[in-house]
Structure 1
Amino acid sequence: MSATARSRRTRTLTRIGALTAVAALAVGCTSNTPAEESNGGGDDGGTTAVSANDDPGETVTIGFSGPEADHGWLAAINSAAREEADKYEDIEFDIAEGTNDPSAQIAHIESFISKGVDAIVLLPTDGAALTEAATEAMQAGIPVVNVDREFSNEFAARVTILGDNYGMGVSAGTYACQLVEENDLGDAVIAEIAGIDSLPLTQDRSQGFEDALSECGQDVDRRVAAEFTVESGEAAASNLLQAANEIDIIWNHDDDQGVGVKAAFENADRDEFFFIGGAGSANAMRWIEAGEMEATVLYPPTQAADGVRLARLLAQDKGLSDLVQVEVPRRIVLNAPVVTADNVEQYMPLGFES
């Protein structure tokens, strides 16, 4: 990193209060005092909140079907789900082999229904393709927790847990605006390295970035797209650098492809810009600690782990004691905080290996 970039970085590593909230919703969090007995004036026989939801309860079987671990974030999804289940002695975890084949996942769900599991947690390869099978599970009385990729019918899931792709773009753009203001960059040259352009998640991230930049009178001057892989990241970043002699800020959507992006920066001997990443890999967090990267925007790899916690509560007929409405929510969207040198230690445990 050049002396100029290091000087910029020192002056600008301030916390964005609204964007550095805890990334993963603490769905298992409960009060330390016993819940009061119902006085009969409210819920008539429905689910009631309990204290100490993490205390052992009735043993339940949770079926889990996730993706093939061909990407660092996806591997983290699977491992986090398994690790969360292992924390509870009252969970019997039936985990299917990861796959990118919708037909295989349909077979997983059919198997779970046949076994009579108590709940299913599913990150679908294709939400639309898995909707019918998930609906069949719901109709069989098995609550389904849908993770990350939505079904095409809301009746296919009891709970949907999502990362915030649009929010990622907003977080990255808001942080870029802060950099522009604090460093008096004026009409800054801002570049974007997107993921696969045909995917709605990429479109949402780009739209959020554009919308946030417009709030401070900035826009995206250069944009290229990669494919969420190291090789494509390096190729896209190389093309970007060849097309632009001077760049002030670069946002890369995905920290896995960011390995290739960073290699392209090093090959071109370019470091005049602030480098912002996306997703929250362990590599990115180590680069932030080393002063080689400005920030990354988290896309929580805890979604399936949160799904396991919620599935356990649903199967045990428990609610969330930290909510006035004690039922488990139908929809949860996790935050997309900005991770900087100021707070990287807080988020390092969530970093996944690329």
Structure 2
Amino acid sequence: MSSSITVFSAKRRLLGTAGAFVLAGALIAGCTSNEPESTDDGDENTAEESGDDGAASGGNANDETGETVTIGFSGPEADHGWLAAINSSALAEADKYDDVELRAAEGTNDASLQIQQVETFINEGVDAIVLLPTDGAALTDIATRAMDAGIPVVNVDREFSSPFAARTTILGDNYGMGVSAGTYACQLIEENNIDDPVIAEIAGIDALPLTQDRSQGFADALDACGEDVDNRVAAEFTVQSGEAVTSNLLQAAPEIDIIWNHDDDQGVGVKAAFDNAGRDEFFFIGGAGSSNAMEWIQQGEMEATVLYPPTQAADGIRLARLLAQGKGMSDLVQVEVPRRIVLNAPVVTADNVDEYMHLGFDS
């Protein structure tokens, strides 16, 4: 199978040629990394940022047109809403800059094909590569080859197994998602004077480190206010699995005060199970930040959702452009792009949903 690379420039707009991309079909690894997050940053700099719409704004010298650079982008297939948003946001972000020529590879879950795609980027001599690897460990060697060839690599979401494989890494915060959800649950308990609350958790695939990190963060935050999870089930990041495990949960627990669901894509099924059972006595908290979740919050059918920013690859394009042009991040005193950036996991509620609505993705 040969790799497929599509070239876009300022004169050939990405969004008008979206049909050239296959953005469907993906393993559920979906909203997240399939590699455990490193907790040892060494001498790396860590910047905490909240997701934004990535719009190039006036008044920032970094946004002024500079030397044209070629960026290679390779991401996953996308039958999961978050993954589709990752890919489309990267394409749209590159299209905002007159000085960026994007070479976008066809989305894939085949590590061997993705290795071929990166090899093509290296042979073409691109100025930078943005890579959300199908498997971080499997793509480490080829990413290291790119770095050795003088091509800075921006590693998105799923980490490589060597620090030499990327110039910078941009990540969502899975543990932080759990902490945000648990902290908000504690707030709800206090504000509503809930005695001996029954707390339920609908996780994603338990075998994945990302799910383990989210659950651990949730448990740690609840422990801080003297609570714990009473009922827990695990789905598979799909609508069907979300509905099935939630139906079982509702039968096992006749009364629930708070439910946290890890993933808003599977949350479509979770919500269907709620509706089918006629259950709405609990505060419903989601995860990732889909358009469905945002709308349910606006309509009063959902309490909150915790973002896992779908802007990571778009931010990766911005960082790759800065690296290729020898620039730093204008809001930092430091003159170079940091080695590691971890995005924030904010809680979206009725009070701030309008601020985050533009980041919502289709489930």
For normalisation by structure 1, the TM-score amounts to 0.87
Residue 27 of structure 1 deviates from its aligned partner by: 8.3
Q: Which amino acid aligns with 1:59?
A: T
Q: AA paired with 2:275? A: E
Give 1:353 shift.
Answer: 0.4
Pairing partner for 2:310 from 278, 285, 301: 301
From the CA coordinates, give the structure whose radius of gyration is larger.
Answer: 1
Asked if 2 retains the 8 angstrom alpha-carbon contact of 1:30 and 1:52, the reply is: no
Q: How many residues align?
A: 316
* Letter in structure 2 aligned against 1:343: N
| Other-structure match for 1:143 | 152
**Partner of residue 43, structure 1:** none
Instruction: Quote the residue 2:291 is aligned against.
Output: 282
Contact residue 196 and residue 202 of structure 1 kept, 8 A: yes
Corresponding position of 1:36: none
Identify which of 2, 23, 26 aligns with 2:50.
23
Name which of 254, 258, 270 aligns with 1:261: 270
- Match for 2:118 among 109, 128, 143? 109
SS in 2 for 1:241: helix
Distance of 2:325 and 2:111 partners within structure 1? 29
Identify the residue that residue 4 of structure 2 maps to in structure 1.
Answer: none
Question: C-alpha displacement at 1:289, in angstroms?
Answer: 0.2
Q: Deviations over 1:282-304 (max 9, x none)?
A: 00000000000000000000000
- 1:170-249 alignment, distance < 5 Å: 170-249=179-258
Compare relative contact order (CA 8 Å, sep 6+) and give the higher one, 1 or 2.
1
Distance 1:259 1:28, change over 3 A: closer
SS at match of 2:64: coil
Map Cα deviations across residues 69-99 of structure 1 (whole Å, 9 max, x no partner).
1100000000000000000010000000000
Residue 321 of structure 1 and its aligned partner are, at CA, apart by: 2.1
Secondary structure at the aligned position of 1:53 is classed as: helix
Structure 1: tracts of 5 or more residues without a match: 1-20, 33-50
Output the amino acid matched with 2:231: R
What does 1:52-201 correspond to in 2, within 5 Å?
A: 52-201=61-210
Against the structure 1 CA distance between its residues 22 and 186, is the aligned structure 2 distance closer, same or farther, given a 3 Å change threshold? farther
CA shift, 1:23, in A, is 2.5
Q: Contact 2:49–2:342 (CA<8 Å) still a contact in 1?
A: no
The amino acid across from 1:187 in the alignment is D
Helix, strand or coil: the match of 2:170?
strand
For residues 63 and 347 of structure 1, the distance between their equivalents in structure 2, rounded to whole angstroms, comes to: 29
Q: Which amino acid aligns with 2:122?
A: I
Gaps of 5+ in 2: 1-47
Instruction: Report the secondary structure of 1:107's partner residue.
Output: helix
Q: Which position in structure 2 is the counterpart of 1:48?
A: none
The answer as to whether partners of 1:30 and 1:321 remain within 8 angstroms in 2 is no
CA contact (8 A) 1:76 1:352 kept: yes
Q: Amino acid of the residue matched to residue 237 of structure 1?
A: T
Cα offset, 1:26, TM superposition: 8.7
Determine which of 330, 333, 343 is the counterpart of 1:324: 333
Separation of aligned partners in 1, 2:176 and 2:330: 27
Whether the 8 Å contact between 1:28 and 1:310 is mirrored in structure 2 is no
| Offset from partner CA, 1:154-200 (integer Å, 9 cap, x none) | 11000100000000000000000000001111211000000000000
Q: Distance in 2 between matches of 1:170 and 1:72?
A: 23
